[in-house]
Amino acid sequence: MNKYTNFQKIAGVSLAILFSLSLVFHLLVLTGIIDFRLVWGGRLNNHAEMVQFEAVSLIVNLLFLVIVFLKMHWLRFRFPKIVLTVLLWLMAVVFFLNTLGNLASLNQLETLIFTPVTFVSTVFCVVLALAKTKN
């Protein structure tokens, strides 16, 4: 059994919740329930472009969710510890860059809501990347 600190557990659970909510959010954008002009910095030009970008978002968020599940040992699939650590560091970089992108968004709502979410995601990915566990 792997021992995580309380903060590492909070980071893992929080990321799992955030990625799950993000999947739902992007499905709502893809289905048109949420206007696509509210995402991607307000820079999408048409429906076809939105479908492409949202499909990528869904795949990436699902991949991120699986990485967190593997790191937290919620999936009973052995995966090299070093690979998960590198992937979590890459995720931290992606979320940090996304935070900067959200700050530059043309949509003020996106800036206000998603900047803190991506910043917290950056911190939690770093926390999990630094977590020492047995594989």
In the predicted model, is pLDDT for residue 104 greater than 90? no
pLDDT of res. 39: 80
Single-letter code of the amino acid located at 61: N
Structure token pair of residue 52: 């492409």
**CA neighbor of 127 nearest in space, from 25, 5, 2:** 5
pLDDT in tens, 33-69: 998 887 877 788 899 999 999 999 999 999 999 999 9
**CA neighbor of 135 nearest in space, from 68, 63, 59, 84:** 84
Domain boundaries, the chain: 6-130
pLDDT of res. 9: 96
**CA neighbor of 91 nearest in space, from 3, 41, 16:** 16
Single-letter code of the amino acid located at 3: K
C-beta separation of 67 from 88 below 8 A = yes
C-beta separation of 37 from 55 below 8 A = no
CA angle 24, 28, 30 (to 5 degrees): 115
Structure token pair of residue 44: 């999408």
Q: How confident is residue 130, by pLDDT bands cut at 50, 70 and 90?
A: very high
Please state the pTM of the whole predicted model.
0.88
The answer to which of 15-24, 68-77, 108-117 has the lowest mean pLDDT is 108-117
How far is it, in rounded angstroms, from Cα 114 to Cα 101? Answer: 10
Alpha helices in the chain (DSSP H): 6-30, 47-71, 81-103, 108-130
